[in-house]
Structure 1
Amino acid sequence: MKNIFVMLASLLFVLSAIAEEAKEYTQWDTFRFTIDNKNAQKLTKNMRSHIKKFHVKDPLKTRIYNIIYGPNVNELIWVMGPVSFSELDARPESKSHDDDWADNINPYINSYNQSEIWRHMENLVINNLDDKAPSPEKFSCRYLTVRQDQDWEVAKYLLMQIKETLMKTGKVKYWAMMDNKFIQGKMNGRHLMAISSFDKWAEMDDDWEFKKHFEEIYGKGSYKSFSESYSKAFENTWHEIISVNKDMSGL
């Protein structure tokens, strides 16, 4: 009998550990959409109402972002979370939610574009934001397409070097590498995303002396080797600037 209790205790410990591990990751459920500009004010009002009714509490808390620079300018992004896959399963079915979307949102959306799950990559996050401070309103996103023949461990090492260098600059408020959880292939190419917050556009004029800080960590001449490896690891990269749509988000 004693052995049975020991086995049960061990099993509970293992299950608890698995549950804790499952909760450790941080990810967001997102999709992009375009709107009927003739009814932009109507959609803004309806989206704000929808979010206030159904998406103000975690894990379904949602914000809408405008893409203001980049190849997909004028698209909007729905960002919900952070939310785990288990929490998506546990979402209660709501006819009132679905009816509200069908009647008040869907008629004013021209197209639904990419739907993606973005997750923080392990040990590739810098967060110097005050817990009590308001959430950032503007982000710079750098998307990366990983070459098919690339060694994943090499790619992760390069990203870790970037993180360590950014930490050394002492200027980062929030930065994270995110992994697109569903395979994108070449149609999309958004395999990874480096996202960083900024408060004012004037910050774009700052010279963070990345190369200088990098070589102080990894040695003189190391930046050249890093740049060559980076070009081999990633075949495409581009920027996107996004800003929270306060009206739609109900802020």
Structure 2
Amino acid sequence: MNKISTLFTILFFAFSAIAEESKSYTQWDTFRFTVDNQHAKKFTKNMRAHIKKYHTEAPLKTKIYNVTYGPDANELIWVMGPVNFSELDARPENKKHDDDWADNINPYITSYKQSELWRLMEGLEINNLDKNDAPEMFMTRYLTVSKSYDPKVGKYLLTQIKKTLDKIGKVKYWAVMDNQFIQGYKNGRHLMGISSMESFAAWDEDWEFSKHFEELYGKGSFKAFQANYDRSFKNQWNELITVNKEMSGL
């Protein structure tokens, strides 16, 4: 094999590996919006029809979520996917879809807010759901990283949380996702932790997180964890989100 052929072979396998890696991620396309409450019933009917017609199959499968508690309560969230960038590029031009949105959806939306792509961070997922499980309620925690944030340190801290939750053994679904578009500090939605909830009563249960943490990492380790966490993340806030079954066509 000559040098040119050897180089071509090396480059081919290198680019193939990169392409394979680029397809291996899991991410969701989301945006937030508010609606005209005077026409809420009409909008719900129209959105349900739109989703059932255009968004029931992967990778464009979509659900609508209500923000029930949190600083942005009463907003709605469009969640489509999982969908990768290649699949977004491959979406067919669909005039009927666009016209339906323009005629039956857009007139009732009073504001469009954050449009984001959330990618699952490798190694930061707990999934104990059965195939037929479909959680209807999630607690989310948004994290704003500090200016001195070190991604390696941040990932280690989040991995400590995951391992502690694994040890406790009560989580059905938990994951950390990375916002794929630079947010700056005005918005500050850099990372998102998301955990399924079965009921509001779950808030009454004490999982003794710090106790289990120190059983894994040693006495006094939780205090050190908190100090590093506070240095890595300058802000955080929670939201409770629930599936809007009517709009989602469920």
Aligned-residue RMSD, C-alpha: 1.5
1:133 Cα deviation from its structure 2 partner: 1.8
2:58 paired residue number: 58
State the percentage of identical aligned residues: 67
Runs (5+) with no aligned partner, structure 1: none
CA deviation vs aligned residue, 1:165-191 (integer Å, no higher than 9, x gap): 111100111100111110111211111
1:95 Cα deviation from its structure 2 partner: 0.5
Mapping for residues 1-251 of structure 1, pairs under 5 Å: 11-130=11-130, 132-251=131-250
Runs (5+) with no aligned partner, structure 2: none
1:229 Cα deviation from its structure 2 partner: 1.0
1:199 Cα deviation from its structure 2 partner: 1.4
* 1: CA distance, partners of 2:141 / 2:236: 7
Q: 1:151 to 1:8 in 2, by over 3 A?
A: closer
* 2: CA distance, partners of 1:99 / 1:30: 20
* 2: CA distance, partners of 1:4 / 1:208: 61
1:235 Cα deviation from its structure 2 partner: 0.8
1:207 Cα deviation from its structure 2 partner: 1.1
1:43 Cα deviation from its structure 2 partner: 0.5
* 2: CA distance, partners of 1:158 / 1:230: 7
1:2 Cα deviation from its structure 2 partner: 8.3
Amino acid at match of 1:163: K
* 2: CA distance, partners of 1:133 / 1:208: 26
1:17 Cα deviation from its structure 2 partner: 2.3
1:9 Cα deviation from its structure 2 partner: 5.6
* 1: CA distance, partners of 2:149 / 2:32: 28
Question: Could you state the TM-score of these two structures normalised by the residue count of structure 1?
Answer: 0.95
1:3 Cα deviation from its structure 2 partner: 7.8
* 1: CA distance, partners of 2:151 / 2:11: 34
CA deviation vs aligned residue, 1:189-243 (integer Å, no higher than 9, x gap): 1111100001122122111110011001100011011111111111111100000
Question: Could you state the TM-score of these two structures normalised by the residue count of structure 2?
Answer: 0.95
CA deviation vs aligned residue, 1:96-118 (integer Å, no higher than 9, x gap): 11000000000000000110110
Q: How many residues align?
A: 250
* 1: CA distance, partners of 2:207 / 2:198: 16
1:6 Cα deviation from its structure 2 partner: 6.5
Which moved further from structure 2: 26-35 or 183-192?
Answer: 183-192
* 2: CA distance, partners of 1:3 / 1:232: 51
* 1: CA distance, partners of 2:122 / 2:135: 22
* 2: CA distance, partners of 1:12 / 1:186: 40
1:52 Cα deviation from its structure 2 partner: 0.7
CA deviation vs aligned residue, 1:64-123 (integer Å, no higher than 9, x gap): 000000000000000000000111111111101100000000000000011011011111
Amino acid at match of 2:236: T
Which moved further from structure 2: 18-27 or 241-250?
Answer: 18-27
1:19 Cα deviation from its structure 2 partner: 2.5
